[in-house]
């Protein structure tokens, strides 16, 4: 089902049993921050192990709005910014063939998780230089990536251009806490100042600090939320910061602490802003889930 690339790779790198074609990721006007790419490459080299139970649990939460009419065994899929490849692995049994691309060295880490899957091909490429013709794919997904790119609208447009008219685009974008209290938003702004400091640290120190934050910041809040849940204050527990993590492993918590505090580029969006971005990219029939993680959305290419 896979097609040929529409450009020649700069090089082919052998990684395990996989041959990875590498394309230019830093043109003069590239919509990319190379420091962010490097940071995510380091992150996924550290957090490179996801067992099947974890992948299935996370996948069920993220893909609850993706039905068979959107994604099925006939679908030619592209996973844009695949990282470790955990999302490609999750949908590999539902899709026909998957092109998994990432501009960072995480693409070589992904070999460990999905390199042995017959219906997945790995390539090193960025959003604004996707090495396939426009209107190629039946389904595209870009999960937790567009929020870390300098121009989110251009990035989304570049993704959607690769989908056939009538195909579907799925994404997850960081939300701006529009459904939270004023106190919650103030707390986030204070914590965001911390991110601006941590993201500039040397990689080793940054990883250490984020691990410490997972212990001294994340865990106390998460365990307090669990306590509220157990004594019957379930609505209050759901409104607590970090409530998404009440049933997640410490590995996921550490991973997400580095993910959130380690990047220098971070955009956050309201539900309506996401709808506006998707509409401007040529998507209709947009569905934005009301459940965590906020916000994950899917739309159909209409033009």
pLDDT over 70 (residue 70) = yes
Closest CA to 168 of 189, 192, 139: 139
| Model pLDDT, residue 16 | 83
Closest CA to 58 of 252, 279, 211, 295: 252
pLDDT of 117-142, one tens digit each?
Answer: 999 999 999 998 999 999 999 999 99
pLDDT of 47-58, one tens digit each?
Answer: 988 999 999 999
The kind and range of the H/E element at 37 are helix 34-46
Q: Which residues of 199-217 are buried (b: 16+ CB within 10 A; e: fewer)?
A: beeeeeebbebbeebbeeb
Q: How confident is the model at residue 271 (pLDDT cuts 50, 70, 90)?
A: very high
In terms of C-beta distances under 8 Å and separation of at least 24 residues, what long-range contacts does 101-104 make, across chains too?
101/125, 101/126, 101/130, 101/131, 103/25, 103/32, 103/37, 103/127, 104/37, 104/38, 104/40, 104/41, 104/44
Mean of pLDDT values over 64-78 = 98
Round to whole Å and give the CA distance between 119 and 95. Answer: 8
Round to whole Å and give the CA distance between 302 and 286. Answer: 11
| Model pLDDT, residue 141 | 98
Mean of pLDDT values over 95-116 = 94
| Model pLDDT, residue 25 | 87
pLDDT of 200-257, one tens digit each?
Answer: 999 999 999 999 999 999 999 999 999 999 999 888 888 888 988 988 999 999 999 9
Residue with the bigger pLDDT between 1 and 69: it is: 69
Q: How confident is the model at residue 284 (pLDDT cuts 50, 70, 90)?
A: very high
Q: How many CB atoms lie within 10 A of CB 292?
A: 14
Round to whole Å and give the CA distance between 146 and 261. Answer: 16
CATH of domain 11-175+268-301: 3.40.50.150
pLDDT of 2-20, one tens digit each?
Answer: 899 999 999 999 988 889 9
pLDDT of 145-179, one tens digit each?
Answer: 999 999 999 999 999 999 999 999 999 999 999 88
Closest CA to 146 of 27, 21, 263, 20: 263
| Model pLDDT, residue 241 | 85
DSSP character at residue 257: H
- Which structure tokens are listed for 43? 């992150």
**3-state SS class at 28:** coil
pLDDT over 90 (residue 298) = yes
- Which structure tokens are listed for 237? 């527990």
pLDDT over 70 (residue 27) = no
| Model pLDDT, residue 17 | 83
Domain ranges across the chain? 11-175+268-301, 182-261
């Amino acid at each position: 089902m896979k097609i040929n690339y529409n450009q020649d790779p700069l090089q082919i790198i052998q990684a395990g049993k996989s041959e990875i074609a590498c394309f230019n990721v830093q043109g003069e006007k590239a919509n990319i921050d190379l420091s962010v790419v490097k940071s995510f490459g380091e992150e996924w080299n550290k957090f490179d192990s996801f067992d099947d139970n974890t992948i299935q649990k996370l996948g069920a939460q993220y893909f609850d709005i993706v039905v068979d009419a959107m994604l099925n065994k006939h679908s030619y899929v592209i996973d844009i910014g695949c990282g470790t490849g955990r999302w490609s692995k999750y949908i590999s049994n539902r899709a026909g063939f998957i092109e998994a691309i990432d501009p960072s060295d995480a693409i070589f880490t992904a070999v460990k998780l999905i390199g042995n899957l017959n219906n997945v091909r790995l390539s090193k490429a960025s959003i604004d230089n996707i090495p396939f013709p426009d209107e190629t794919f039946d389904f595209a997904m870009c999960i937790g990536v567009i929020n870390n790119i300098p121009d989110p609208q251009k990035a989304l447009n570049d993704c959607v251009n690769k989908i056939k008219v009538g195909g579907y685009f799925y994404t997850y974008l960081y939300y701006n806490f529009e459904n939270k209290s004023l106190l919650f938003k103030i707390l986030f702004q204070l914590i965001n100042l911390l991110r601006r400091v941590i993201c500039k640290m040397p990689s080793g120190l940054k990883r250490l600090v984020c691990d410490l934050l997972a212990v001294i910041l994340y865990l106390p809040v998460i365990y307090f939320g669990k306590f509220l849940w157990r004594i019957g204050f379930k609505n209050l527990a759901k409104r607590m910061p970090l409530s998404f993590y009440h049933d997640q492993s410490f590995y996921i918590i550490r991973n997400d602490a580095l993910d959130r505090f380690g990047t220098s580029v971070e955009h956050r969006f309201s539900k309506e802003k996401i709808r506006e971005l998707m509409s401007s990219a040529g998507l209709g029939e947009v569905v934005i889930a009301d459940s965590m993680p906020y916000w994950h959305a899917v739309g159909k290419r209409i033009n």
